[in-house]
Structure 1
Amino acid sequence: MTSTAPSTGPSIEQDLGLVETATTAVLATASRLTDDDVAAASLCEGWTRGHVLTHIARNAEAMVRLTRWAVTGEREEMYPGGTEKRDADIEAGAGRGAAEQLADLRGTASALAEDFPRLGGDLATSEVEMRGGYVVRSASLPFLRLRELVLHHVDLDAGYTLADVEGPVLVRLLDDAVSRLRLSHRAPSLTLRTDEGDTWTVGSGDAEVTGPRHGILLWLARRIPSGVSSAHELPQLPRGA
């Protein structure tokens, strides 16, 4: 198993507030989508918006399971049946209409909102295992849900972009994206400099990439080079990092 987690920062209570805000924003966007909108392509290669919405809902259920594990100490798989079952569930739900998607999002988000505050109390285990064998701090689950909400809201390609994300949240998401990139043995040697004055280094920092925070995060998270530049060709990022 490989252990990874975002850097320490705000309290669980603060992260829960951010999750609530991000959830409200996703639901507002989803409520405006028509059946045709849901069936259209998202920014996730090979996925429609319906796939993205279904994934957000199934992820909420997964976070409930991991929260229960953290609180009770009784192991629960993030996605019972593994990646194959997870992918099948997303595919099965992707073709639903807008109203059914919205109801699913609301119901699963509500259930998670009831369970998530339990992470602020005494925990039976300080770490849980996510899909792919990644071990994370139990207390980091709200941040990881926030990451899912923000990035997949952008993936809906329905008006919300990373430029709409508050600066402190963007910095935390960038920290997380860089940390995950550093775990890859195929990561290029990079220095990332934002227009806002932040700097991150991967490896020996050979190639310099510049741009606004939201542009660099979009490139790291979705390989979309919008607003980022380098003195030479942009380095190739490994898939899955």
Structure 2
Amino acid sequence: MTDPTTTPNMDFRTHLVAVDRHTELLLATARSLDPGSIGDPSLCPGWTRGHVLTHIARNADALLRLVTNAVTGSSEPMYDSPDARDADIEAGAGRPLAEQVTDLEASAARFAAASAGLTEEMSTVPLLARNNTKVKAGYLPFMRMREVVLHHIDLDAGFSFAEVDDEVLLALLQDTIRRLRHNPETPSMSIRTNEGDVWSIGDGRPIVSGTRAAVLAWLTRGDAAGVEGTLPTIPSLG
């Protein structure tokens, strides 16, 4: 039984391996899409599949900036501005699938090459991420892994949380619970997984249960199909 009230495992080397593995899964899904479906709705409100693929690519470049800051001591912003981030996603969303896949591959390769230069000494370097969020450099591989996995789901192309490695599921759940605990809008509840994890927020009521995959789908994507209990409203984590 696990009650991860402390910071979850953030071994950046472990997460870099997971990034590579789940990027390959994402690319396999992207390559399998019908080219005519690039404009189909995704699970992200207001976004098509093209928006999601473009966002994943631009996120790799944004996190690459932060990796470079950690390695060189520079201070480039993660994104030039919120408006510039949104404009880049909108501009790339309508591109043909083949161009999207090429961009996804190239941006992922750039991030992988740069993040290979992270060292244990650099892992504690403080950085400024999106929305003035402060993170340590060792957290960047996890941030990338989270984006790849969650937005792979958002493509709505057959990939599910049930296909995510169990250690990655646990890390994503731990991080999600941590962020929910820091959000004043999060309601009280107790979360229990079939794998034996227990998390409490507030007074621990009501009790919500399900597999790790099902609980993560509910907490992050509002899919309550596999969870049981009286379900409170979960605030968006962005």
Q: TM-score range by the shorter chain?
A: over 0.9
Contact 2:56 / 2:104 at 8 angstroms: preserved in 1?
yes
Residue 167 of structure 1: CA displacement? 1.3
Residue 34 of structure 1: CA displacement? 2.3
Change (3 A) 1:125 1:72: farther
One-letter amino acid of the counterpart of residue 78, structure 2: M
One-letter amino acid of the counterpart of residue 60, structure 2: A
Residue 122 of structure 1: CA displacement? 4.1
Tell me the matched-pair count. Answer: 233
> Using the alignment, how far apart are the partners of 2:123 and 2:74 within structure 1?
9
The answer for the alignment partner of 2:57 in structure 1 is 57
Structure 1, residues 137-184: CA drift from partner, whole Å, max 9, x if none? Answer: 111110110011010111111111000011111111000111111111
Residue 9 of structure 1: CA displacement? 2.0
Change (3 A) 1:32 1:124: closer
Q: Which runs of 5+ in 1 are unaligned?
A: 1-5
Relative to the length of structure 2, the TM-score reads: 0.93
Change (3 A) 1:187 1:178: same
Q: For residue 220 of structure 1, give the secondary structure of its aligned residue in structure 2.
A: helix
How do 1:1-241 residues align onto structure 2 when only pairs under 5 Å count?
A: 7-9=7-9, 11-80=11-80, 82-120=81-119, 122-123=121-122, 126-230=125-229, 232=230, 234-240=231-237
Residue 121 of structure 1: CA displacement? 5.4
> Using the alignment, how far apart are the partners of 1:100 and 1:55 within structure 2?
14
Structure 1, residues 15-46: CA drift from partner, whole Å, max 9, x if none? Answer: 21111101111111111112222111111111
Structure 1, residues 48-71: CA drift from partner, whole Å, max 9, x if none? Answer: 110100000000000110001111
Structure 1, residues 170-226: CA drift from partner, whole Å, max 9, x if none? Answer: 111000111111111111001001111111111121211111111110111112212
Residue 12 of structure 1: CA displacement? 2.4
> Using the alignment, how far apart are the partners of 2:124 and 2:164 within structure 1?
32
> Using the alignment, how far apart are the partners of 2:237 and 2:105 within structure 1?
29
Structure 1, residues 102-126: CA drift from partner, whole Å, max 9, x if none? Answer: 0100111111111001112543961
Q: For residue 157 of structure 1, give the secondary structure of its aligned residue in structure 2.
A: coil
Relative to the length of structure 1, the TM-score reads: 0.92
Q: Which runs of 5+ in 2 are unaligned?
A: 1-5
Contact 2:41 / 2:49 at 8 angstroms: preserved in 1?
yes
Change (3 A) 1:180 1:124: closer
One-letter amino acid of the counterpart of residue 9, structure 2: G
The answer for the alignment partner of 2:3 in structure 1 is none
Contact 1:13 / 1:120 at 8 angstroms: preserved in 2?
no
> Using the alignment, how far apart are the partners of 2:209 and 2:14 within structure 1?
30
One-letter amino acid of the counterpart of residue 54, structure 1: T
Q: For residue 235 of structure 1, give the secondary structure of its aligned residue in structure 2.
A: coil
The answer for the alignment partner of 1:3 in structure 2 is none
Change (3 A) 1:23 1:141: same
Change (3 A) 1:48 1:79: same
